[in-house]
Every structure is written in C-alpha cells, then in structure tokens.
Amino acid sequence: MYRRRPARLVAAGSAWPPEEGNGATLLKKVLIWLAIAFVVFYVIQRPEDAAGIVRSAGGALSDAADSLSAFVESLV
C-alpha cells in the first residue's frame, strides 16, 4: 500500500514547528521580541525620557566602576 509522506514546509533541523520540550525556547524568543518592540516604541514615542533613562543608567555604571576601582586599589 502506498503511504503519503507529509510535506515539509521548513528546512530540516530548524526550530519551527517547535519540537516537544522546545516550548520554553519559543516563549523566550517571543518575549525577547516583544521587549525589543516595546523599547523601540518607547524611544519613538518619548525620546527625551528614553535619553534620560540611558543617561541615568550610564551614571550608575560609572559609579559602579568607580566603586570597583576604589575597592581594587584598597586591596593593593
């Protein structure tokens, strides 16, 4: 008897459709893309606020680097 094989719409070894146990990976990818889309939307809608957030994050990183530098110098 002739058996018909299902057509493959994607390349072999690709992640879509998700295999069993791969749902968490797919969810992670979707959430990452949603976060990126939100950031782009926020930057477009409120560029001044977005710039303020980046400035404050840069200041926090600078303070952390200064503190780490002071700590390492105190060890020497």
Rounded to two decimals, what is the model's pTM? 0.51
Predicted confidence (pLDDT) per residue in 62-75, tens digit: 999 999 999 999 99
CA 65 to chain centre: 24
d(CA 70, CA 40): 36
Predicted confidence (pLDDT) per residue in 17-51, tens digit: 555 557 888 999 999 999 999 999 999 999 999 99
d(CA 19, CA 12): 12
